[in-house]
Amino acid sequence: MVKNKVALVYVCLLRLDYPSSWPGAWTDLMALLERGPGVVDMFLRVLMTFDQEVVSDEVPRTPEEQRLSHSIKHAMREADVARLAECWYGVLGAYRQSAPPLVAECLRAVAAFAVWIEILAVANDRFLGCIVGIVAEAGPAAG
C-alpha cells in the first residue's frame, strides 16, 4: 500500500537524520495534524512503522542498530514524547465519534510507545479518563 511505503520512507529518513540533522522530524509531522483525518492516519502509520523499524525490542537488531535505537529513544524522551502524548490525546478526543478506526490505531501506537516512554506521559488522570470514556462508549458489543 502506498501510504505504508510513504510512512516507511519517512521513518528511514528519521532514522538517518534524527536528531542530529533533523531535530524537528517529529515536530514537523505533528504540526500537520490539524489538516484532518488523512494526515492523522499517516501520522499513526509513521508511528507504528517507526516502532517496528527502529525501536521495538521484538525485532532482532544488530548491536549498531540497538545503539541507534537507544540514541533515538533518548532524544525523543528529551524532546518529543510529551508532545506526542498531547497529539495522541488530541486524536482520541477529536475522532472518538467520527473515526473510530483512527482511535483504535492511536491506542495501538500508545501501547507500542508505552513500553519505553515515561509512563506518566500517558498514565495520568486526563489520559486515562479519556480512555475510560472510549471504553464506556464502545460498550460490550466492542468485544
- In Å, how far from its chain's centre is CA 35? 17
Cβ-based burial of 100 (10 A; exposed 0-12, middle 13-18, buried ≥19): middle
Number of domains in the chain: 1
Instruction: State the alpha helices, DSSP H only, in 96-124.
Output: 100-114
Residues 6+ apart with CB under 8 A from 76: 26, 84, 117
Over residues 63-76, the pLDDT tens digits come to 999 999 999 999 99
Instruction: Name the pLDDT band for 1 (thresholds 50, 70, 90).
Output: confident
Over residues 14-62, the pLDDT tens digits come to 999 999 999 999 999 999 999 999 999 999 999 999 999 999 989 999 9
pTM of the model: 0.94
Residue 24: domain span? 2-142
Question: Residue 21: what pLDDT?
Answer: 98
Q: Quick one: which H or E segment has residue 14?
A: helix 2-17
Helix axes 63-79, 2-17, angle to 10 degrees: 90
Q: Mean pLDDT, the chain, as a whole number? A: 96
